[in-house]
Amino acid sequence: MFNSLTALPADPILGLLTQYREDNHPNKVDLGVGVYKDPLGHTPILDCVKAAEKIRLDTETTKVYIGPTGSASFNQLMGELAFGASHSALLANRVRTVSTPGGTGSLRVAADFIKRCNPNAVLWVSDPTWANHTGLFEAAGITVKTYPYYDYDSKTLKFDQMLATLNSIGKDDVVLLHACCHNPSGMDLTTEQWDEVVKVTVKQGFTPLIDMAYQGFGDGVDEDAYGVRQMAAAVESMILCSSCSKNFGLYRERIGACSIVAKNSATADITQSVLLYVVRCLYSMPPAHGAAIVETILGTPALKQQWLDELKVMRDRINGNRAILVDKLKANGVDRDFSFIARQKGMFSFLGVNPEQVAILKQQYSVYMVGSSRISIAGISETNVDYLAKSIAAVL
Ligand code: LMR
């Protein structure tokens, strides 16, 4: 039966990992997959994570099945981190959270959950969005459509067009919004724009699905959750997919969470039963190690403070990289305006070069970025930025 298969192309983001590893160029630069890197190009384990792992090693007493919801304590702490401990939705007991294998696992749980709510629901995603959103939801049998978002020419949001499309979406559909650090464009909604989007969501009655994969990488843990918190306070139903891959640096541990906000506690209990069914059919139950680390950090005041401090170091470094790249491009005689990179947020921006230039950067200069010219800002460092700026200048 395998004879009917044809080979599929490598994933546009993850495929770059292998190509980069196999490249022997001494100055190769990895701006592909979104992972934090320190000035030496290393992705470190956070000190708070190491400390939490030590605690778990000493205190863990069993490896028995954890169950489809995952860790109750992790779920509660993740809810508080996202919504804020005193959020009205939490106080009204309207939120149910399950631990998931990473942010991608959370999105897939959400996809199967949506399919059970309404098999005909259309999922609306920003144009552009994370390269895996479309495939992931289509794999769950959901039709995906786009709403206007990023203007590649002016490097700004197409906010009026976005609102116009949202104003045409009905109550049976779902709209995916990025909480912060929009992947791939780096262009976020302002708080005023979030307020507008919340208003339209309430008026139209569609269900918002907010993907929060970078909480703390934009302006701060609370600032980055502005849209999530406003939305959850205003709407009857909402889905939140969060990830601990980037902000806790737990990439390979695969830990995230899927939270459903329902109109009341009784409905929330029903959604929980559906979530558990979905999880059982997909992967039975989530891995426990990452959740144990996160709950130890968030549940221990000194470790939580250490985490917030380490997160700030990562955030400041990425923002610093943005300014450094803009300056170095100028210093290398590039007269095209790249100042937008310094104004954008989070791990990514579009460099704005064409696919041929992306290919030349890879083939001739060993500078790796996604075909759309999305660059992972965290891959820039004091040691590679001169070479990077010279390479970009050369292809321009
Ligand atoms: C990215 O966009 O680079 C990250 O979210 C990693 C991934 O899985 O694509």
Query: Rounded to whole angstroms, how far apart are CA atoms 112 and 142?
Result: 9
Token pair belonging to 255: 């830990």
Single out the catalytic residue among 37, 112, 130, 188.
Answer: 130
Mean pLDDT of the chain: 97
Q: Categorize the per-residue pLDDT at 290 as very low, low, confident or very high, splitting at 50, 70 and 90.
A: very high
Residue 131, pLDDT score: 93
What residue owns the CA closest to ligand 1's atom 2? 34
Token pair belonging to 263: 């109109």
pLDDT, tens digit, 9 for 90 and up, residues 143-193: 999 999 999 999 999 999 999 999 999 999 999 999 999 999 999 999 999
Please answer whether residues 49 and 266 qualify as being in contact, where contact means their C-beta atoms are separated by less than 8 angstroms: no
Distance 217 CA to ligand 1 centre (A): 14
- Percent of the chain predicted with pLDDT > 70: 100
Q: How many CA atoms lie within 13 A of 295 on its CB side?
A: 19
- Told to judge if 130 belongs to the known catalytic residues of this protein, a careful annotator would answer yes
ipTM at complex level: 0.95
Residue 264, pLDDT score: 98
346-357 average pLDDT score = 96
Please answer whether residues 112 and 138 qualify as being in contact, where contact means their C-beta atoms are separated by less than 8 angstroms: no
Distance 168 CA to ligand 1 centre (A): 30
Residue 373, pLDDT score: 97
Residue 132, pLDDT score: 96
Token pair belonging to 126: 């920003």
pTM of the model: 0.97
Residue-range domains of the chain with CATH: 10-44+315-395 (3.90.1150.10), 65-299 (3.40.640.10)
Single out the catalytic residue among 246, 328, 345, 362.
Answer: 246
pLDDT, tens digit, 9 for 90 and up, residues 16-37: 999 999 999 999 999 999 999 9
What residue owns the CA closest to ligand 1's atom 5? 34
